């Protein structure tokens, strides 16, 4: 099953998922991105998290144990944020909230203790704990257990930082605009250097040309339809675009050995200026009518970072701004600005504007050097202003050019520019600037993908558009259209072009008209020039390296019949553009001219030098033949002694420098060695080493241990002393209790005092880790006890390691002794092998580097592979020692004449030993040299004695050899047995090491549990402190609210009383109306009363908006007075005499109007006070609610504090106990790695043993009953088997009786039955057999004799046949020669016949194959016809399935 989820944002950035939580999260690719959290597999949006990250997130991770998500952001924030992810509410609504870190009280303690909030775990208190919401990065010191909070660590780049974000280049390298067309140069994997022409109206690619090179820059000429392209090989290519569908390459010039980074035309179309990293700028004539000639070059003060131009039409000057970098470390930024002023008339008309090397003279240009405070990555030149972008500070800067800026070129001192204005820049750098054609708007693009456009006068206000994604490198370049209202941007790595157009409001219509008018004026001014230049451009031929020299000669030098030497050099360059640049050609021409000019002088100098060399050589040869007293040293023949001394001095200085560097390096290494040795070797009380087995790869290492410090020993002594006091005190208390209770159950108490290893939690007592002062695991409740227990456990670990190290040292010494014994035995074996003349390699083990780690601290001569350098003094000293040793050796040799004589006479010994038997020989008598026939009788006797002695000596030698061989075998066997025994002992030590490791891990586990318990207790105390502070603050707030509430109640009561009085006064006015007009008739008084109650319609009064109506200004608002004035104005209409009833006096009417006005004022006053009272009561109610809320918060804090205290008490009493159990005592099923003991129970061993005894008894009963059933079943099976056996016997006997009855009686059977005696029958058989044997023996002898005769006959025939075969072999040899000759003749004659025969045979085979194919085709057709007939017959004879179905 596959599901697809569409991102609600602009894409998917960082992604993470949690299988345990069943949810996934991802970020989008927008600016200020969000994080979306979905559940799985429903894929429903759980929540959307909005952070403060500006660009994007680089990584996300979800917690499996809690609803938390951590995210890491990229530049420029560099933050790590922890967020809480809440699940949807029950009604399905999405809840967005921050992490709720309050303490939730649970009724059940986990095995790790109560769960505390993160602020308590961090050890924070006060305001820092209250503000701990967003998730901070904590730094914990493990030694002091102090916690510090890292609040969002930012990585900010200061102006002095050298760090920079490295972004790779993408597909589009450059772009330019001309009229309504777009030229874009791209670089891709398959297509190299494609220049493409795009239409801006529909985005259609109108044409392209493949340059087959890497494009680095591009520019478009404003006065002709061509594009210049810079390449990575240093070439500048001119591509003609008059025919838009078919661009052509019409010109090429090689200017640099490095890539061409910058190409810029001035706005007047006069010059093309190029720039590269080698600090040279070339100025080319931009007009095709001039053949794109190179005018000259200018040297910049450093690597060129950026170029910008400005054309002054009135003065016909071109200003060029060059951003340079003096340092060679980074060429992407620069802090030097070179402002050049080129005079168009002088450069184009004058022929002497350059020197012989092609460099522009100082007379035709002015320059000024500026220095800026911060390095820029891009800059543009405006009218009397310079705009640049600082990558380090990420700001846009502007500078004013001083009026004294135009100085002659000899003023090389840099002028410091003062920063005029600064505005914020892009989040990602670097950024690039582009000025609009009418010099008013500035466009800035950056790696964040944003395009910003602002006016040069107000850089702070700008419009921006997200053109490209920052994940794809952002914007690579930007360009304005001629109307300054259309912009094109290229992506750095996304391979896209984005066309944007400014939409100006009505207020900006004037600016748009100004830009359009400027573009139209430029177009009108260039119209005639563009037409003429395009005509010349279209007539240019395609550039060709082979024919370019002829083309240039015929096109641009029509009146010359012969090219100059300089032109020839230039044309030779064009033939091979990659060999020499244009400047190299100029230099070569100058060198050739100088060579021709000074050729005679050079020739004379060479001749004089040769004569002088020959003279000195003759003098040196003559000097060699002179006596030593008259010889001169070779240095006296040196004519330039000063140069020789200078070179020697430089060599000595270089040697001294290198020697000093080596000495400092060696000193640093020696210091590092001493530090490492001090920290890792000298400080170790027991050095780490190993023991390796003799016959296996088994290796056992000891425990490297440092000596305990005085502080640790004092702490251990303090703890042990305190424990002794506590133990003695507890013993005294037990004695007192036992005395009071009558000393009952003494035995049980003694047993309970000694805990078993299972309860102590480790087996350290069995491996040397004994400490009687340890606390019982069931009595560790106080923090100080746990800390003391940790100290004692560390001491136990130290003792266990020390005990093992002692055993290790004993085994190590034993191996050393074994090796020494083995060497002695090998020495004896070597002597025996020498006596027996055996050449075998003896096995002699040595200690490895792990067994002798001190070898690493010493360097032997064999480890040094280079030759040792010796000073002259050291060489002299070694030579003297060598001579002294040789002298002593010769003296010892000359004094040893006695030993030499002894060796000659008696083999170097005075008496013969048994070991010399093998070297003994019996001397031969002298007569043995004579022939044996000449021996005398005595000589023969002497020979016999010689043989006897020789035989005895040989026997003795053999006995001695066997004795030596037996001894050697015993020695080898003893060596093998001793080493094998040692290996067994080492295996035992290895097992001991494994168990010691187990014990150490058990103790370390207890320490870890205690440390966790202490930390949890500290967290609880920290939480308690925090809750106490909150409670104190809440009580303070409650008291303040109570006092304020009491004060407000008094004010409200007073105002209510005032309101009641006002209402009563208003009612009295209503009641006293008739009394006041008692003199008016009754029918008129009723009309007046109606008019008295009548009110005009006016706008209602607005209620006051002040929250606190108890302020003085709350009752003095302007709204009530405005309402009253409006009412009074409206009452004037009612007070008019026209509304007076008939028959009423005017004086009474006026009095009536005054009374009615008084009534209206009273009613307005009542309304005002009623509104004020309502608002005051609402305000008082809010304060009352706040008081109740504060009271409830205090109650909750008190409850939480009480529950926390209860949990702390429970946690202290419910200690974690480590128990050691055997494998059979654990009944929990093991999982994949660790068994789950969450629901496990610890049961006393006696309960299990009783249960096992009951189960065993029941099992025995069951087995007894099963045996009884088995025996009974066995009897049944036995009886059934006997019954079947008897039935089978009965059946067998019946078959035998039947066979006897049906048996056929033959003559032999009758004879056998009739013969009464068996012996007679046997005798008859024996007689018959003897007769048969005699007959067969006689026949066999006859056959043997016949075979012998045949063999003799065959032997005779074989001899005859061999003789015939020999004769035939001779004939066969002759016949083979004859046959070979005849075969050659026959083959030579029959070759032609064979070819005809072979062709005929092939023809017949083809005809036969064709016939067979025809027969096979006919037969196949017949088979098909027969098969069809068969199918028809089958269909007739058998019904179909459908017929069967319906039938």
β-strand pairing of 294-299 with 303-312: unpaired
What confidence category does residue 33 fall into, taking pLDDT thresholds of 50, 70 and 90? confident
Residue 1109: its pLDDT value, please?
44
Peptide linkage before 430 cis (omega within 30 of 0)? yes
Residue 955: its pLDDT value, please?
84
Residue 124: its pLDDT value, please?
65
Measured CA to CA, the distance from residue 1089 to residue 867 in angstroms comes to: 134
Please, which residues bridge with residue 72 across strands?
A: 59, 80
CA atoms within 13 A on the CB side of 1000: 15
Per-residue pLDDT reduced to its tens digit, 674-685: 998 888 888 888
Q: What φ, ψ does residue 277 adopt, rounded to 5°? A: -80, -5
β-strand pairing of 23-27 with 45-50: unpaired
The whole-number average pLDDT for the span 993-1019 is 91
Per-residue pLDDT reduced to its tens digit, 1194-1222: 999 999 999 989 988 888 888 888 888 87
Residue 412: its pLDDT value, please?
60
The whole-number average pLDDT for the span 808-837 is 90
Quick one: DSSP state of residue 678? I
Cβ-based burial of 1158 (10 A; exposed 0-12, middle 13-18, buried ≥19): exposed
Q: What percent of the chain has pLDDT over 70?
A: 82
Per-residue pLDDT reduced to its tens digit, 314-349: 888 999 999 998 776 556 888 899 999 988 888 887
pTM here is 0.52
Supply the DSSP string of 843-871, one letter for each residue: ------TTT-GGGGG---GGG--SPPP--
Per-residue pLDDT reduced to its tens digit, 1054-1068: 988 988 888 888 888
Q: Which of 396, 473, 480 is nearest to 436 (CA)?
A: 480
Measured CA to CA, the distance from residue 114 to residue 111 in angstroms comes to: 9
Averaged pLDDT of the chain: 79
Tokens representing 111 are 């095995």
Label residues 192-220 b or e (16+ Cβ within 10 Å = b). ebbbbbbebeeeeeeebbebeeebbbbbb
Quick one: DSSP state of residue 394? T
Whether 95 shows a pLDDT value over 80: the answer reads: no
Residue 1231: its pLDDT value, please?
67
CA distances from 66 to 81, 652, 1431 (A): 15, 71, 78
Residue 484: its pLDDT value, please?
86
What confidence category does residue 88 fall into, taking pLDDT thresholds of 50, 70 and 90? very low
Sheet with 365-376, edge to edge strand ranges: 303-312, 317-325, 334-343, 365-376, 415-416
Among 248-257, 283-292, 1215-1224, the least confident range: 1215-1224
Highest mean pLDDT among 51-55, 589-593, 1089-1093: 589-593
Q: Which of 697, 699, 688 is nearest to 854 (CA)?
A: 688
If one counts every other C-beta atom within 10 angstroms of the C-beta of residue 252, the result is 19
Residue 125: its pLDDT value, please?
65
Whether 105 shows a pLDDT value over 70: the answer reads: no
| Residue 373 · residue 387 · CB < 8 Å | no
Strands (E), 107-225: 137-140, 147-150, 172-178, 181-186, 194-199, 205-210, 215-220
Measured CA to CA, the distance from residue 281 to residue 743 in angstroms comes to: 111
Whether 134 shows a pLDDT value over 70: the answer reads: no
Tokens representing 847 are 């200690």
What confidence category does residue 814 fall into, taking pLDDT thresholds of 50, 70 and 90? very high
Three-state secondary-structure class, residue 558:
coil
Give 1290's contacts (C-beta < 8 A, 6+ positions apart): none
The whole-number average pLDDT for the span 844-870 is 83
Among 36-40, 987-991, 1116-1120, the least confident range: 1116-1120
What confidence category does residue 897 fall into, taking pLDDT thresholds of 50, 70 and 90? low
Whether 971 shows a pLDDT value over 60: the answer reads: yes
Residue 162: its pLDDT value, please?
37
Highest mean pLDDT among 888-902, 1099-1113, 1204-1218: 1204-1218
| Residue 742 · residue 726 · CB < 8 Å | no
Tokens representing 1351 are 């063999």
């Amino acid at each position: 099953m596959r599901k697809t989820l569409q991102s609600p944002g602009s894409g998917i950035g960082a992604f993470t998922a949690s299988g345990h939580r069943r949810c996934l999260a991802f970020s989008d690719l927008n600016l200020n991105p969000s994080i979306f959290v979905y559940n799985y597999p429903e894929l429903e949006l759980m929540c959307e998290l909005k952070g403060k990250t500006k660009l994007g997130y680089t990584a996300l991770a979800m917690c499996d144990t809690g609803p938390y998500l951590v995210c890491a952001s990229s530049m420029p924030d560099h933050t790590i944020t922890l967020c809480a992810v809440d699940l949807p509410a029950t009604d399905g609504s999405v809840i967005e909230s921050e992490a709720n870190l309050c303490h939730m009280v649970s009724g059940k303690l986990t095995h790790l203790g109560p769960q505390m909030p993160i602020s308590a775990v961090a050890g924070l208190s006060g305001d820092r704990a209250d503000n701990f919401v967003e998730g901070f990065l904590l730094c914990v010191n493990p030694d002091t257990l102090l916690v510090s909070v890292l609040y969002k660590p930012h990585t900010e780049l200061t102006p002095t930082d050298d760090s920079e974000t490295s972004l790779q280049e993408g597909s589009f390298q450059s772009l330019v605009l001309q009229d309504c067309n777009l030229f874009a140069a791209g670089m891709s994997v398959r297509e190299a250097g494609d220049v493409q022409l795009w239409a801006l109206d529909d985005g259609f690619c109108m044409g392209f040309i493949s340059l087959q090179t890497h494009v680095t820059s591009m520019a478009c000429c404003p006065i002709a339809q061509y594009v210049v392209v810079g390449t990575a090989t240093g070439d500048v290519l001119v591509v003609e675009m008059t025919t838009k569908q078919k661009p052509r390459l019409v010109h090429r010039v090689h200017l640099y050995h490095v890539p061409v980074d910058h190409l810029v035309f001035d706005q007047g179309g006069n010059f093309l200026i190029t720039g590269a990293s080698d600090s040279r700028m070339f100025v080319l004539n931009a007009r095709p009518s001039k053949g794109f000639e190179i005018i000259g070059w200018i040297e910049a003060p450093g690597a060129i970072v950026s170029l910008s131009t400005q054309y002054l039409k009135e003065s016909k000057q071109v200003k060029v701004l060059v951003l340079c970098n003096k340092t060679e470390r980074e060429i992407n930024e620069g802090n030097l600005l070179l402002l050049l002023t080129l005079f168009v008339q002088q450069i184009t008309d004058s022929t002497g504007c350059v020197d012989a090397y092609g460099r522009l003279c100082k007379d035709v240009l002015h320059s000024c050097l500026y220095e800026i405070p911060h390095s820029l990555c891009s800059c543009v030149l405006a009218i009397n202003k310079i705009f640049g972008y600082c990558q380090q500070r990420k700001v846009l800067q502007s500078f004013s050019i001083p009026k004294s800026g135009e100085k002659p070129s000899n003023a090389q001192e840099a002028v410091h520019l003062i920063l005029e204005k600064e505005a914020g820049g892009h989040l990602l750098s670097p950024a690039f600037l582009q000025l609009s054609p009418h010099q008013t708007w500035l466009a800035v693009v950056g790696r964040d993908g944003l395009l910003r456009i602002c006016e040069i006068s107000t850089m702070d206000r700008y419009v921006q558009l997200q053109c490209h994604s920052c994940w794809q490198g952002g914007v690579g370049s930007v360009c304005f259209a001629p109307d300054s209202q259309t912009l094109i941007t290229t992506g750095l790595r996304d391979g896209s072009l984005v066309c944007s157009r400014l939409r100006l409001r009505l207020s900006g219509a004037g600016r748009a008209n100004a830009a359009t008018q400027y573009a139209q004026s430029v177009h009108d001014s260039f119209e005639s020039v563009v037409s003429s230049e395009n005509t010349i451009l279209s007539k240019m031929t395609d550039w060709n390296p082979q024919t370019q020299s002829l083309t240039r000669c015929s096109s641009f030098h029509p009146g010359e019949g012969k090219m100059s030497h300089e032109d020839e050099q230039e044309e030779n360059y064009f033939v091979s553009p990659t060999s020499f640049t244009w400047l190299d050609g100029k230099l070569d021409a100058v060198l050739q001219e100088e060579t021709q000019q000074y050729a005679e002088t050079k020739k004379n100098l060479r001749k004089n030098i040769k004569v002088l060399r020959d003279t000195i050589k003759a003098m040196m040869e003559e000097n060699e033949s002179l006596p030593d007293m008259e010889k001169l040293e070779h240095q006296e023949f040196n004519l330039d002694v000063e140069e020789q001394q200078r070179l020697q001095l430089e060599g000595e200085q270089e040697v001294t420098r290198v020697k000093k560097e080596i000495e400092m390096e060696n000193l640093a290494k020696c210091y590092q060695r001493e530090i490492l040795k001090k920290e890792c070797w000298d400080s170790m009380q027991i050095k780490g080493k190993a023991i390796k087995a003799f016959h296996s790869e088994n290796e056992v290492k000891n425990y490297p241990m440092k000596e305990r410090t005085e502080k640790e020993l004092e702490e251990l002594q303090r703890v042990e002393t305190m424990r002794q006091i506590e133990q003695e005190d507890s013993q005294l208390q037990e004695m007192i209790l036992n005395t009071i209770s009558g000393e009952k159950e003494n035995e049980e108490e003694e047993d309970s005092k000694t805990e078993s290893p299972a309860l102590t939690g480790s087996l350290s007592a069995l491996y040397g880790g004994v400490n009687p002062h340890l606390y019982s695991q069931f009595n560790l409740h106080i923090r100080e006890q746990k800390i003391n227990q940790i100290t004692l456990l560390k001491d136990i670990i130290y003792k266990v390691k020390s005990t093992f190290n002692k055993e290790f040292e004993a085994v190590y010494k034993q191996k050393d002794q074994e090796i020494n014994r083995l060497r002695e035995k090998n020495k004896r074996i070597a002597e025996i092998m020498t006596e027996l003349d055996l050449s075998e390699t003896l096995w002699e083990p040595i200690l490895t580097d792990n067994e002798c780690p001190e070898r690493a601290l010493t360097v032997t001569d064999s480890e040094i592979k280079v030759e040792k350098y010796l000073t002259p003094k050291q060489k002299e000293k070694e030579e003297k020692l060598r001579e002294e040793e040789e002298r002593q050796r010769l003296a010892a040799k000359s004094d040893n004449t006695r030993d030499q004589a002894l060796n000659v006479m008696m083999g170097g010994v005075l008496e013969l030993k048994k070991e010399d038997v093998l070297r003994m020989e019996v001397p031969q008598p002298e007569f043995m040299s004579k022939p044996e026939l000449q021996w005398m009788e005595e000589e023969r006797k002497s020979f016999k004695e010689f043989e006897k002695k020789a035989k005895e000596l040989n026997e003795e030698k053999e006995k001695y050899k066997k004795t030596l061989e037996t001894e050697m075998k015993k020695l080898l066997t003893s060596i093998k047995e001793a080493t094998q025994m040692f290996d067994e002992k080492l295996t035992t030590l290895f097992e001991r090491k494994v168990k010691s490791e187990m014990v150490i891990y058990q103790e370390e586990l207890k320490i870890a549990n205690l440390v966790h318990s202490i930390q949890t207790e500290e967290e609880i105390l920290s939480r308690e402190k925090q809750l106490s502070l909150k409670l104190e603050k809440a009580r303070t707030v409650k008291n303040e609210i109570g006092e304020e509430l009491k004060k407000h109640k008094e004010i409200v009561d007073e105002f209510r009383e005032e309101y009641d009085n006002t209402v009563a006064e208003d009612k009295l006015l209503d009641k006293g109306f008739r009394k006041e007009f008692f003199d008016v008739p009754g029918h008129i008084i009723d009309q007046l009363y109606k008019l008295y109650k009548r009110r005009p319609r006016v706008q209602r009064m607005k209620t006051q908006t002040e929250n606190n109506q108890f302020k003085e200004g709350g009752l003095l608002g302007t709204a009530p007075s405005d309402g009253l004035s409006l009412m009074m104005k409206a009452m004037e209409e009612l007070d008019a005499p026209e509304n007076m009833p008939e028959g009423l006096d005017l004086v009474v009417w006026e009095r009536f109007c005054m009374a009615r006005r008084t009534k209206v004022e009273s009613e307005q006053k009542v309304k005002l006070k009623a509104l004020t009272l309502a608002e005051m009561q609402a305000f008082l109610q809010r304060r009352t609610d706040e008081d109740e809320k504060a009271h409830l918060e205090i109650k909750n804090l008190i409850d939480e504090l009480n529950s926390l205290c209860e949990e702390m008490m429970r946690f202290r009493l419910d200690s974690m106990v480590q128990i050691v159990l055997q494998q059979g005592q654990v009944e929990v099923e093991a999982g994949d790695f660790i068994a789950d003991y969450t629901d496990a129970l610890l049961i006393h061993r006696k309960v299990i043993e009783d249960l096992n005894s009951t189960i065993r008894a029941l099992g025995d009963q069951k087995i007894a009953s099963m045996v009884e059933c088995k025996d009974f079943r066995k009897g049944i099976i036995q009886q059934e088997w006997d019954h079947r056996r008897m039935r089978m016997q009965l059946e067998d006997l019946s078959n035998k009786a039947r066979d006897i009855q049906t048996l056929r009686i033959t003559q032999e059977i009758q004879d056998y039955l009739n013969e009464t005696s068996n012996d007679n029958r046997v005798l008859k058989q024996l007689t018959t057999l003897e007769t048969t044997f005699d007959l067969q023996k006689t026949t066999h002898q006859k056959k043997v004799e016949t075979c012998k005769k045949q063999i003799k006959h065959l032997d005779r025939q074989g001899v005859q046949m061999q003789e015939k075969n020999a004769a035939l072999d001779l004939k066969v040899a002759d016949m083979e020669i004859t046959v070979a000759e005849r075969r050659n003749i026959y083959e030579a004659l029959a070759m032609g016949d064979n070819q005809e025969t072979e062709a005929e045979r092939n023809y017949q085979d083809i005809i036969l194959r064709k016939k067979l194919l025809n027969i096979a085709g006919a037969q196949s057709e017949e088979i098909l016809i027969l098969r069809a007939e068969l199918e028809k017959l089958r269909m007739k004879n058998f019904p179909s399935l459908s017929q069967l179905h319906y039938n």
